[in-house]
Amino acid sequence: MNSHSIRETAAVALSLLDLTNLKDDCTEAQIDTLCARAQTPYGYSAAICIWPRFVAHARNILGIGHAVRIATVVNFPSGDMEVADVAAETREAIADGADDIDLVIPYRKLLAGDEKAVTDMVKAVRAECGPVLLKVIIETGELKDAALIRRASELAIEAGADFIKTSTGKVAVNATLEAADIMIRAIRESGRRVGFKPAGGIGSVADAALYLSLAETIMAPDWAMPSTFRFGASGLLDDILAVLSGAQSAPAAASSY
């Protein structure tokens, strides 16, 4: 990849980035920093992704209608909460000002064969979301099996997901190109306008380029945009800024398999 195309890729990745802080010990001061970092000299990230308890604080900082969206997580990271509790968590987050809801499916129940648990959870949260974007995290690294990743993607799409997302970033195996391939193909074959979000372990522009190339191959050259593709990452912004500022050329991509 030449320096021109790597800078283009960095600029695209910035526009697709859900800049994330889901550390257990996250503080309001760190949210202040995250909101500032999302607004770079080269453009803004698509969103910040934060714990529900910080949504109101972030909204106070960014104000109404800001170009940087506020994404938050529900049923996170375990996927084990009761449907009614997740619905209530979603309602509260939206009332506090969330633009995007990133929902973890009950993936352990799916592993045990309970597809209905996934459908019920996604439908219940979808009903709370209205115009708010619903991203459904299927936790591919725990599902492991290709057929199960495919089925989880189908269930989420059928139940009303606006996006399907690989991972919480809280397990041993997060985003991989193999899982991405399965999920993007499920989107294509659904015929629906559903987005894709790889999350966890994407730390360089070169890594991001691999996912964008895969999406382009399966969908279309112009398919990846903020309404159809996001990167969930905390460290990717550093490399994006280094490339855009000319401080470095992109390193070789780490293997995602």
pLDDT in tens, 143-163: 999 999 999 999 999 999 999
- Topology adopted by domain 3-244: TIM Barrel (3.20.20)
- List the domain boundaries for the chain: 3-244
Identify the active-site residue in 100, 135, 162, 197.
197
Q: What is the model's pLDDT at position 10?
A: 98
Helix and strand totals (H; E) in the chain? 11, 10
| pTM passes above 0.75 | yes
For residue 117 the two structure tokens come to: 């648990």
pLDDT tens, 209-228?
A: 999 999 999 999 989 999 99
Identify the active-site residue in 102, 162, 207, 239.
102
Does the annotation mark 23 as catalytic?
Answer: no
- Cα(140)–Cα(142) distance, integer angstroms: 5
Does the annotation mark 135 as catalytic?
Answer: no
Identify the active-site residue in 18, 100, 165, 239.
165
- Cα(105)–Cα(122) distance, integer angstroms: 7
pLDDT tens, 48-92?
A: 999 999 999 999 999 999 999 999 999 999 999 999 999 999 999
- Cα(124)–Cα(250) distance, integer angstroms: 43
Q: Judge contact between 83 and 54, C-beta under 8 A.
A: no
Mean pLDDT across the chain, nearest whole number? 95
- List residues bridging with 137 in a β-sheet: 104, 165
Does the annotation mark 109 as catalytic?
Answer: no
pLDDT over 70 for what percent of the chain? 95
For residue 42 the two structure tokens come to: 């080269």
Q: What is the model's pLDDT at position 247?
A: 84
Q: How confident is the model at residue 255 (pLDDT cuts 50, 70, 90)?
A: very low
Q: Alpha-carbon Rg of the chain, whole angstroms? A: 17
User: Is 195 strand, coil or helix?
Assistant: strand
Which uninterrupted H or E stretch holds 240? Answer: helix 236-244
